[in-house]
Amino acid sequence: RFVGGERIDAAIAELNLDKRKVSLSIKLLEELQNKEAVDKFSSPLSGKNLPFSSLSDKLDDKKKKKETE
């Protein structure tokens, strides 16, 4: 897959100074980059903040109002 002397990007997965061992991970780097992109580009309007996300809450409120009337 890789040729000797080829440069690659990788994240440090583990650093053991006693054994003088460094574990690198390309997959970890990709996961970190994906997480960073999601954090950077995710909208505050995603998920629970969307208008239709609280539909169950609104229906519950409406049901409670009918019960009290």
Whole-angstrom Cα distance, residue 58 to residue 52?
Answer: 9
Domains of the chain, residue spans: 11-68
- Give this prediction's pTM: 0.53
Residue 25 has φ and ψ, to the nearest 5°, of: -145, 120
Residues 38-65: tens digit of each pLDDT: 888 776 555 555 555 566 777 888 888 8
Give the C-alpha distances (Å, rounded to integers) separating 7 from 16, 25, 26, 45.
23, 14, 12, 40
What DSSP character marks residue 65?
H
Q: What is the pLDDT of residue 51?
A: 58
